Structure 1
Amino acid sequence: MMYWNDHGMSGWGWFGMSLTMLLFTALIIGGGVLLFRALDRSNIHPTPPAPPAPPALTAEQLLGERFARGEIEDEEYRKRLGALRDTARP
């Protein structure tokens, strides 16, 4: 068998091996950076603001809801509704 360059690598071999090592190292570091950025997405997209609060209910609406839930009886509902409407008139 005949071996050239006494089993050693030529200059192009060293260059190719060094370049491959640098590319592999860059690939590992780049992958780590991309993984870190993908896991740290909370700072990039802040949570949207809370929706506005629903408008405040009027006294009549509140009374109607209590009646619908069964908290007050029909007689009490009508009495309170009448009282609310009487105070609302000038």
Structure 2
Amino acid sequence: MTAKLTRTFGFAALAALTYAAPALAQQTERYYYGPHMWGWGWFFGPVAMIGTLVLVLVVAAMAARWMGDRSGAGRTAPDKTAQDILAERFARGEIDKDEFEERRKLLGA
């Protein structure tokens, strides 16, 4: 019985709020919160919106650039030659001796 009464009261409260919302939205005072977009408000509103959007995009681009600079993945030092990189790969065990010799011959060393 209590659950049914609670459910009924919940539906009644929801209905009361639903029907009261339009009445609360229609205030009788003309300038309840001020004249809003009168005067220079029509100009500064869109300017502030565009400025905020530009600021968010600039911050996002700077964050992406900062995070990209930290990884260093896929970059090699400009003073390394192809033969140096090949020797490093051979030293790390990524390629075997036959592949190392074959690629070294292709590079002309």
- TM score, norm. by length of structure 1: 0.39
Look at both structures and tell me which one has the larger radius of gyration over its CA atoms.
1
